Structure 1
Amino acid sequence: MAEFPPIAHIAVTVSDLERSTRWYRALFGSEPVLDEDETNGGFHHTVFALANGQLFGLHTHSRGARISAFDEHRPGLDHVAFACRDRSELEAWCHRLDDLDIQHGGIVDAHYGSGVQFRDPDNIALEFFAPPG
């Protein structure tokens, strides 16, 4: 069996695509590479290209949409963590969050690494994470 493949993309469902696109555009510091309306499929998505060929997508669904706040305590997604090389890069991202007026919990250290937790406009839990050392 081949080595398990890396994650190619993550897509999160958002309540307001325009608002979330503005927010993630500021966070990522880049423009989306795809903005597509799948009228027949009942959803619209916007996709950002991240480092190492990874993609981060924002979706809205027009059919069967149930608007409720994100809750990592329900089955499904808990959070999305973005990898930082080291604590220095983690600190830089912490300052970037400050510059963008994005509330966060500050750097929290643990034996398995350090992280900064924050949330998007739909309350989706996000994190910057660096390995120990």
Structure 2
Amino acid sequence: MKLRPLKGIHHVSAITANAKKNYEFYTKTLGMRLVKKTINQDDPSVYHLFYADERGNPGTDLTFFEILNAGQTYQGTNSISATSLRVPDDESLQYWQNRFEQLGIEHDEISYHSGRATLAFRDFEGQRLVLVSDEDNVGVAGGRPWDRSPVPQEYGIVGLGPVKLTVSSFELTAKMLTDVLGFREARTYPSVISGGLDIQVFETGEGGTGAEVHLEERTDLPRESQGRGSVHHVAFRVEDGEELKHWAELLKELRIPNSGIVERYYFKSLYFREPNGILFELATDGPGFEVDEPFDHLGEHLALPPYFENQREQIEAMLEPLNTKQSPVNQK
């Protein structure tokens, strides 16, 4: 079955144990916009928060499930071991390094990997994040930072960059990426681990920072144990529901266990695990986050898909109140 290539990264979903502090960090420190405050549709007792560019364009969303009793993450293999966030250019990284120093955010020095300037840092729960410069990017376009962000637009985060997968068996995941999902091998770059194997870059669609998976094999680590500060899954972009249906048919044909198509209201999804156990999702580009909230008020109220509205009272009673009303900010 011949399918159109996946368009790039759609979103990355991670785990937090504290929605309030998470909201403060990703909106006030990183300057991303909360475009949707909703629930984990598989567990309506917890928040699902979506941070993105000004309107949550596909490829810009970093999302979090709040799991209050989430334990510590024990880092290891068969994991999404780093999430990249794109910034406009190399100059932006200098701004961010200064900002992190002023705010006391744990970070590394600006360095170069795979031909790009990068700045690795961690959030308050140890979430592994990397700012990556789009200065020489050719490929999937980024989004547009919100003009009410505390970060000046010219330095703002424009979307998701490459995701890094750390696995115990390179060949198994590589085969899934190329033979099933249609990624192509692009290049390699050296590991920062002494004696480590080169990291292989795979790309899809138009390529570029918004359409890459970086695959690393490590045989010296145990399997990662997920907790607060870890990544739950990565989603890749599919044009629409019709295309997603074709992907579901292909997975069935290949006998790859999967969820079937799941209605998420803001997009449709299809979930499955690659051979090392990392959860992948295919998600449609639309309809998007303005189906139930106007652009100017995205993320300000608890948004529930229509099929959860009759449970609103019970759901709100289970959730700790989280004030996400926006107020004017002074950029600095």
Which of the five TM-score ranges fits, normalised by the shorter chain?
Answer: 0.7 to 0.9
1:92-111 aligned at under 5 Å gives the runs: 92-111=246-265
1:61 partner letter: R
Q: Which moved more, 1:9-18 or 1:38-47?
A: 38-47
Aligned residue pair count: 130
Are 1:117 and 1:125, in contact at CA under 8 Å, matched by a contact in 2? Answer: yes
| C-alpha RMSD over aligned residues | 2.4
Is residue 2:167 matched to residue 1:10?
no
Q: Which runs of 5+ in 2 are unaligned?
A: 1-151, 289-332
1:22 match: 175
Is residue 2:274 matched to residue 1:90?
no
How far does the alpha carbon of each residue in 1:104-126 deviate from its partner, in whole angstroms, 9 at most, with x for none?
Answer: 01001132221111001111111
Q: Which runs of 5+ in 1 are unaligned?
A: none
Pair 72,84 (structure 1): closer, same or farther in 2 beyond 3 Å:
farther
1:76 match: 230
How far does the alpha carbon of each residue in 1:52-110 deviate from its partner, in whole angstroms, 9 at most, with x for none?
Answer: 32211111135xx3222x56555311100012221111111112222332210100113
How far does the alpha carbon of each residue in 1:22-45 deviate from its partner, in whole angstroms, 9 at most, with x for none?
Answer: 222112324312245647462432
CA distance in 1, matches of 2:161, 2:172: 24
1:51 is paired with a residue whose SS is coil
CA distance in 2, matches of 1:44, 1:110: 37
Are 2:233 and 2:279, in contact at CA under 8 Å, matched by a contact in 1? Answer: yes
Q: What's the TM-score, normalizing by structure 1?
A: 0.80
2:221 match: 66
Pair 7,128 (structure 1): closer, same or farther in 2 beyond 3 Å:
same
Of structures 1 and 2, the one with the larger relative CO (CA 8 A, separation 6+) is 2
2:184 is paired with a residue whose SS is coil
1:51 partner letter: G
CA distance in 1, matches of 2:273, 2:279: 5
Pair 13,111 (structure 1): closer, same or farther in 2 beyond 3 Å:
same
Structure 1 residue runs of 4 or more that deviate by more than 6 Å after TM superposition: none
